[in-house]
Amino acid sequence: MLPRIILLTTGGTIASLQTESGLAPAMTAQDILRLCPGLAGQAQIEARDVFSLDSSNIQPEEWQQLARAVCDAALHCDGIVITHGTDTMAYSASALSFMLQGLNIPVVFTGSQLPLNHPLSDGPGNLSEAFTVATHAAPGVYVAFHHKVIYGTRAVKLRTLGFDAFDSINAPAVGYFDADGLHMQHAVAPCGQVSVSIPPEEMLLIEPRVFLLKLMPGTDPEIFDHIIRAGYQGLVIEAFGLGGLHYIRRNLLDCLGALSEQRILTLVTTQCLYEKADFSIYEVGRHVLQSSVWGAHDMTTEAALTKLMWVLGDRDKRLPLIGRCLAHEMIEEAF
């Protein structure tokens, strides 16, 4: 008997049609299945539309809606495939990685760089591979795109036009496709996963008021006052190199102390795409450690941002988990 897979659609390029205003999501889940008849040979498929949006419009509220749809679907299937626009797919996949901890089936995000009805679309191949992953992978959240299988917390979009749009950052891809089919490499799991005992509905709680700040030489400390006044509860800082912040003339370190006094949680990561932030190497980094902020270690920016939102969703219970590996987001324990 074929495995039971539920297809959840959210819009994106894969479901777009040409309009007078440009490409816009318009295809339903059933339209997608009609354009990909070969999927019927891979699984017993049920298709559901969750929403239909350009992924630039998918925000934390949509993550919660999608996570609830996954929880409902998970009761009736062996795996789930989610079609999603590529622009914010890495954010959504990372967010759901934290919100769906403990789910006992695979959840696989995919999409395309060209609409499904385009003669050169990469959509049919990506969908077929996503369905294969959904029927063979261990429980967890993945991105399946252009022959790669990537943990949801490790995926980053690197290209705007190339079909090979995503890569796995700071961890090997968990799987890949070649002429022999799917090869999963679960032995490369970045770290031992922490078991989290939280009821499923509570797991979906997140706090969207988190700001992302990329430092540049000369960043004015006044920006931190605006963050406080705007009511943000968390801040992710993309610092220089291993985690440096300037403190001559424009002292950002004092600002971090002010954030702590306002109970605003801060995660500091690096602007470098690869490798980790390590505050212990340089003097400027050691000052950060003395300012009572948290290091994001080797997490992607998308993972750092969504993990902080998830932690702040139930701050008192989840804060001890901020430095623990929960969903393959870091290679080693940060603290």
Three-state secondary structure string covering 188-212: HCCCCCCCCCCCHHHHCCCCCCEEE
For residue 243, which of 272, 212, 213, 265 has the smallest C-alpha distance? 272
Q: Of 54, 87, 167, 298, which residue is the catalytic one?
A: 87
For residue 77, which of 48, 118, 120, 117 has the smallest C-alpha distance? 48
Distance CA 158, CA 321 (A): 29
Distance CA 209, CA 100 (A): 20
Q: Active site includes 282?
A: yes
Q: Of 31, 78, 176, 282, which residue is the catalytic one?
A: 282
Q: Active site includes 160?
A: no
For residue 312, which of 158, 207, 222 has the smallest C-alpha distance? 207
Place of tokens 């970045």: 190
Half-sphere exposure of 62 (CA within 13 A, CB side): 22
Distance CA 235, CA 188 (A): 30
Task: Bin 22: left if φ > 0, else alpha if -120 < ψ < 50, else beta.
Answer: left
Q: Active site includes 86?
A: yes
Q: Active site includes 317?
A: no
Q: Of 157, 219, 278, 314, which residue is the catalytic one?
A: 157
Q: Active site includes 276?
A: no
Element (H, E) at 182: strand 181-184
Enumerate the β-bridge partners of residue 145. 148
Do 223 and 248 form a contact (C-beta atoms < 8 A)?
Answer: no
Q: Of 13, 83, 153, 300, which residue is the catalytic one?
A: 13
Do 82 and 109 form a contact (C-beta atoms < 8 A)?
Answer: yes
Q: Which residues are catalytic?
A: 13, 86-87, 157, 282
